[in-house]
């Protein structure tokens, strides 16, 4: 059994749910046992051994002054770290855990990205969510309702990508939900006190923080839904208070947002469109391409806009008007961006001030940023910008209060303060009369020292004599050993060096005591004055956050305007109908790297709405995927208020963007490529509405040909007949092109190719009509596949080009599809032999499967059940071969 210090460490560790404990011992924070081994390996610290109770324990430590960076490094790697400080008690001290720093409560992270603490609470068919960024004070909550609420919650979590999640009692027992969270986001998952989610406790916590104003935040029209969101928000605040990180005061407001006002984009869609990261890890994401922001807060806001596009036409129009004006005023825009490059992150400064971690340099950056406001307003004072929303962002701020705080900080702080706040040199003498007097006395005492060496040389006749100071000996007189015989009697020796001796005199000792007294008094007074100054900044946290958010939005709008001008993007028309018409559209990322061929797109143009579903065919590598993704990205960019890469665009706003673009095997989760493909397809068929945009890049390619064609065929009919979403479907199953003659809203388009002899040129232009060739063998040749293989493939292809037909099931046709297939070949003997044509009607076993398929209600079948049924049909059909 561990005793003494080690025993105390383990007793404290047992009392906390933290992963690691840092316990103060004098001037160090120490880790013991397994904690020491983890810290040593993670932070590359030296691990030693300490004996206690006859046992040896690992031990690693960091100096008190260096705890913060080590703590940040541990927490950013996902560890929850408890900190036990020494606190005076009686004639001694005790050690108590006064804070637990977690991934979601880290106040001073190394990066500029948002760090959200999320809470999620399920109550029946309702899920309440709350997202809190303690580094900026941003706090939002939302409520979801209906049987799909947990899946919708996953989408919202993916949008915010929290670093730490507190699931409520029901969700922490939901293994499928937690597995999906880990797969898609991988936050630290913390099981917090169930009572914190209780309605009464949450209401009390929110009222304590926000007062009666909390009643206005929770949606009055739906008090029950408002309550479940409020319970999630209350639990987040409760967790902050329990961890003791001291940032509650920086949480000055709570916003209730409605996910219904945002465009639905699940995690798959965000990955497929490569919004914030690429699928391969190389190249550029959309965010990296369009990001011209000059501030960390602006970069955070741009990311939030891209991952949370809106359906609120008024807000989108406001952003468009701001970008339009900024695009037209190049000189003003450049001046604004130049000023923004000097701006600090006021939201994070406010949080640091509240948490008492802001040093003098941080407050200087605060002052400098506040001082930029008049210049920013002046830069926007042009005829075009005077009435723009961009200028309104700043003119609506409390400039008088901001100027007063800036003046106070400028009066108080020196231009280049030291890094530490306890050793003086932070404040200007004129800031405080008592401080000025102490500084004057200190300078007078130090001035006496400046002439001491010369005076002592004259008095003693010793030429090689100097006066200096260090932390060990204090002030001293140093004399060369060759002249020590001339040292006066009142000199007292204090240290012998190789070539010199050090001495002090009674007068020097007295003056040193006076200097140290004055330095100590000055340092204490400066620290006291500084903490008062920092408290003033903390009291202005709400003001700083408001200004910081306005500056961030101005930065984001300026960045989008800059990109629009540089890349010749245009302002899209946000249509009140469902039209999607793009003239000479381009992919925002691809156009940066290659000579891009623009293409038009026309969907849902009215006139009977005959173009709601485009079947896109064409060669491999011809640009079908790029064509469809650029359509989705143009819609998305329009719905964040941005300009878009096109000559002209009319965008009827959508409620969701859904994509199925391809998949990698997820064997660790027991899911093959085809399983992932079918789950993604299932989600689209269940979730998309007639107001959605659906992008399908191949469906059914992960299984046998006839299985794949059948699934793609049925999915097309279902999207056309039941869902009605605007859809672009790229496929190499050319049999599907026959659907355009049977389904009234399906149209064929294809990516053109030009053949000249044996050579094929991909024109990358999309034209009307279908194609019956994919040129896969030509692509194989380009990839370097050996000639015997490609030649043999060409022979096989020619023999397989027999007539095939599948009868389409239109919106009013409940008959069964029929099939005539002759593309069966024999690889034996090195030749291709045509077999007897199969009957157009399947045998009884196949007939039974088709009957079951006909009777299956896809909309009411859970994805897992649907996949199980498909696998069962495959097994039965395999047995009949």
CA distance 724 to 745: 9
Taking residues 754-781, report their average pLDDT.
69
User: Do 561 and 449 reside in the same domain of the chain?
Assistant: no
* 463 phi, psi to nearest 5 deg: -80, -35
Smallest CA-to-CA distance from 363 within 535, 247, 246 is with 535
Residue 581 host element (H or E): strand 580-585
Residue 524 and residue 666 share a domain: no
User: How far is the C-alpha of 65 from the C-alpha of 677, rounded, in Å?
Assistant: 53
Last residue of a domain, one of 39, 66, 101: 101
pLDDT band at 23 (very low <50, low <70, confident <90, very high): very high
Helix (H) or strand (E) holding 408: helix 399-412
Spell out where 64-186 has E strands.
81-89, 92-101, 116-123, 126-133, 138-145, 164-167
Tell me: pLDDT of 779 over 90: no
Q: What is the DSSP letter of 283?
A: S
User: Has residue 288 been placed in a domain?
Assistant: no
What is the percentage of the chain residues whose pLDDT exceeds 90?
Answer: 51
> What would the two tokens of residue 692 be?
């959605």
Print the domain residue range for 465. Answer: 429-531
Query: What is d(CA 685, CA 256) in angstroms, rounded to the nearest whole number?
Result: 30
Higher local confidence (pLDDT), 219 or 16: 16
pLDDT surpassing 60 at residue 824: no
Residues 60-77 have a mean pLDDT of 88
411 pLDDT band, cuts 50/70/90, is: very high
Sign of the CA dihedral running 490, 495, 496, 499: negative
Query: Is residue 537 helix, strand or coil?
Result: helix
Residue 871 lies in a domain: no
Residue 561: the pLDDT is 98
Q: Shortest CA distance to 101 belongs to which of 117, 82, 76?
A: 82
User: Is residue 269 one of the residues assigned to a domain?
Assistant: no
Residues 681 and 783 in one domain: yes
Same domain, 388 and 435: no
pLDDT in tens, 469-485: 988 888 999 999 888 88
pLDDT at 775: 63
Residue 89 and residue 202 share a domain = no
Strand partners, 656: 264, 692
Mind listing the pLDDT tens digit for each residue in 138-194? 999 999 998 888 988 998 998 899 999 999 999 999 999 999 899 888 899 999 999
Residue 367: φ, ψ to 5°:
-60, -45
Q: What is the mean pLDDT of residues 128-147?
A: 92
Task: Please indicate, yes or no, whether residues 667 and 804 belong to a single structural domain of this protein.
Answer: yes
Could you tell me if residue 627 is inside a domain? yes
Same domain, 604 and 750: yes
Asked if residue 860 belongs to a domain, the reply is no
Instruction: Round to whole Å and give the CA distance between 105 and 82.
Output: 12
Which tops the pLDDT comparison, 223 or 523?
A: 523
Mean pLDDT of 714-722: 91
The answer to whether residue 746 is domain-embedded is: yes
Number of H helices, E strands in the chain: 29, 28
Three-state secondary structure call for residue 619: coil
pLDDT band (50, 70, 90) for residue 281: confident
What is the rounded CA–CA span in Å between residue 81 and residue 93? 22
* Domain assignment of residue 172, yes or no: yes
Nearest to 329 by CA among 283, 384, 267, 393: 384
CATH of the domain at 667: 3.40.50.300
Residues near 88 by beta carbon (within 8 Å), at least 6 away in sequence: none
Q: Out of 457-461, 507-511, 653-657, 815-819, pick the least confident.
A: 815-819
441 with 515, same domain?
yes
Mean pLDDT on 539-565? 97
Cα gap 715→658, rounded to integer Å = 14
What CATH number is given to the structural domain containing 490? 1.10.1420.10
Q: Report the candidate in 822, 817, 579 with the shortest Cα–Cα distance to residue 712.
A: 817
Mean pLDDT of 750-757: 71
Q: Same structural domain for residues 25 and 162?
A: no
DSSP one-letter string for 707-764: HHHHHHHHHHHHIIIII--EEEEE-S-GGGGGGGGTSTTEEEEEEEEEEETTEEEEEE
Examine the fold and report which residue of 223, 240, 261 is the final residue of a domain before the chain moves on.
Answer: 261
pLDDT tens for each residue of 246-269? 778 888 888 888 888 999 998 889
Is the pLDDT at 419 greater than 70, yes or no? yes
Number of domains composing the chain: 5
Same domain as 72, residue 202: no
- The pLDDT score that the predictor gives to residue 838 is 38
- Spatial contact of 215 and 230, defined as CB atoms under 8 Å apart: no
37 shares a domain with 56? yes
**Quick one: pLDDT at residue 403?**
97
SS3 content of the chain, % helix, strand, coil (to 5): 50, 20, 30
pLDDT at residue 591 tops 60 = yes
**Lowest mean per-residue pLDDT among 457-461, 771-775, 851-855:** 851-855
Q: Is residue 821 part of a domain?
A: yes
Q: Name the burial class of residue 400, with classes exposed (0-12), middle (13-18) and buried (19+) by CB atoms within 10 angstroms of its CB.
A: exposed
Res 253: pLDDT? 87
Among 229, 261, 293, residue at a domain's last position: 261
Residues 519 and 544 placed together within one structural domain of the fold: no
How many residues in total does the chain contain? Answer: 881
Residue 308 pLDDT > 70: yes
All residues at 6 or more sequence positions from 522 whose CB lies less than 8 Å from its CB, including other chains: 424, 435, 438, 439, 442
pTM: predicted TM-score of the whole model, two decimal places: 0.82
């Amino acid at each position: 059994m561990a005793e003494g210090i080690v025993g105390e460490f383990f007793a404290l560790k047992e009392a906390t749910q933290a992963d690691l404990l840092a316990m103060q011992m004098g001037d160090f924070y120490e880790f013991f046992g397994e904690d020491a081994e983890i810290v040593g390996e993670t932070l590359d610290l030296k691990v030693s051994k300490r004996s206690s109770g006859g046992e040896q324990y690992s031990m690693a430590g960091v100096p008190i002054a260096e705890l913060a960076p080590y703590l940040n490094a541990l927490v950013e790697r996902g560890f929850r770290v408890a900190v036990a400080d020494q606190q005076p008690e009686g004639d001694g001290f005790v050690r108590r855990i006064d804070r637990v720093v977690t991934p979601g409560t880290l106040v001073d992270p190394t990066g500029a990205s948002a760090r959200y603490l999320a809470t999620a609470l399920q109550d029946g068919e309702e899920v309440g969510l709350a997202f809190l960024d303690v580094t900026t004070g941003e706090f939002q909550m939302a409520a979801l309702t209906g049987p799909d609420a947990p899946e919708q919650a996953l989408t919202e979590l993916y949008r915010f990508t929290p670093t730490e999640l507190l699931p409520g009692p029901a969700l922490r027992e939901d293994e499928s939900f937690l597995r999906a969270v880990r797969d898609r986001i991988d936050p630290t998952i913390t099981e917090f006190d169930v009572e914190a989610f209780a309605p009464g406790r949450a209401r009390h916590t929110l009222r304590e923080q926000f007062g009666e104003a909390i009643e206005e935040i929770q949606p009055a029209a739906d008090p029950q839904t408002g309550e479940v969101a409020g319970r999630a928000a209350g639990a987040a605040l409760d967790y902050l208070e329990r961890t003791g990180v001291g940032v509650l005061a920086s949480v000055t407001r709570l916003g209730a947002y409605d996910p219904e006002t945002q465009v639905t984009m699940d995690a798959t869609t965000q990955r497929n469109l490569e919004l914030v990261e690429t699928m391969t890890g190389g190249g550029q994401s959309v965010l990296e391409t369009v990001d011209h922001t000059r501030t960390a807060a602006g970069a955070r806001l741009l990311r939030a806009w891209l991952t949370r596009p809106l359906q609120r036409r008024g807000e989108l129009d406001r952003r468009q008007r701001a970008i339009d004006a900024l695009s037209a005023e190049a000189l003003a825009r450049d001046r604004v961006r130049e000023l923004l490059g000097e701006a600090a992150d006021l939201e994070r400064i406010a949080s640091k001030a509240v948490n008492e971690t802001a040093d003098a340099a941080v407050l200087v950056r605060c002052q400098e940023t506040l001082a930029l406001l008049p210049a920013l307003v002046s830069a926007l004072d042009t005829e075009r910008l005077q009435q723009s929303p961009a200028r309104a962002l700043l003119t609506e701020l409390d400039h008088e209060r901001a100027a007063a705080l800036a003046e106070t900080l400028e009066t108080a702080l020196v231009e280049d303060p030291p890094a530490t706040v306890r050793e003086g040199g932070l404040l200007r003498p004129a800031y405080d009369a008592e401080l000025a007097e102490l500084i004057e006395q200190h300078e007078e005492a130090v001035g006496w020292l400046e002439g001491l060496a010369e005076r002592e040389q004259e008095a003693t006749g010793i030429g090689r004599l100097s006066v200096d100071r260090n932390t060990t000996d204090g002030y001293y007189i140093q004399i060369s050993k060759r002249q020590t015989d001339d040292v006066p009697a009142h000199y007292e020796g204090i240290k012998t060096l190789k070539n010199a001796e050090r001495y002090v005199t009674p007068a020097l000792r007295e003056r040193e005591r006076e200097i140290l007294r004055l330095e100590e008094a000055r340092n204490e007074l400066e620290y006291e004055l500084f903490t008062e100054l920092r408290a003033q900044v903390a009291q202005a946290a709400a003001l700083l956050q408001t200004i910081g958010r306005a500056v961030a939005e101005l930065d984001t709008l300026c960045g989008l305007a800059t990109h629009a001008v540089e890349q010749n993007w245009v302002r899209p028309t946000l249509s009140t109908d469902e039209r999607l018409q793009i003239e000479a559209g381009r992919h925002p990322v691809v156009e940066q790297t290659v000579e891009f061929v623009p293409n038009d797109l026309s969907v849902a143009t009215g006139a009977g709405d005959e173009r709601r579903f485009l079947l896109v065919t064409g060669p491999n590598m011809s640009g079908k995927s790029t064509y469809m993704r650029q359509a989705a990205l143009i819609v998305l960019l329009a719905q964040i208020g941005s300009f878009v890469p096109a000559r002209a665009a009319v965008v009827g706003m959508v409620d969701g963007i859904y994509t199925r673009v391809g998949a990698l095997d997820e064997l660790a989760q027991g899911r093959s490529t085809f399983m992932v493909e079918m789950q993604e397809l299932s989600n689209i068929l269940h979730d998309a509405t007639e107001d959605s945009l659906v992008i399908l890049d191949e469906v059914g390619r992960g299984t046998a040909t006839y299985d794949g064609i059948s699934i793609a065929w049925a999915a097309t009919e279902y999207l056309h007949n039941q869902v009605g979403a605007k859809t672009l479907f790229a496929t190499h199953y050319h049999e599907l092109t026959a659907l355009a003659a049977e389904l009234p809203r399906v149209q064929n388009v294809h990516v053109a190719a030009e053949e000249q002899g044996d050579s094929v040129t991909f024109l990358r232009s999309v034209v009307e009509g279908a194609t019956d060739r994919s040129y896969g063998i030509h692509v194989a040749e380009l990839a370097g596949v050996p000639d015997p293989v490609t030649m043999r493939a060409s022979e096989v292809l020619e023999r397989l080009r027999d007539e095939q037909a599948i009868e389409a099931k239109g919106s009013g046709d409940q008959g069964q599809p029929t099939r005539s297939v002759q593309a069966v070949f024999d690889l034996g003997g090195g030749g291709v032999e045509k077999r007897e044509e199969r009957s157009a009607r399947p045998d009884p076993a196949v007939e039974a499967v088709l009957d079951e398929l006909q009777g299956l209600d896809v909309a009411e079948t859970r994805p897992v059940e649907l996949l199980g049924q498909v696998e069962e049909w495959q097994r039965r059909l395999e047995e009949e071969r």
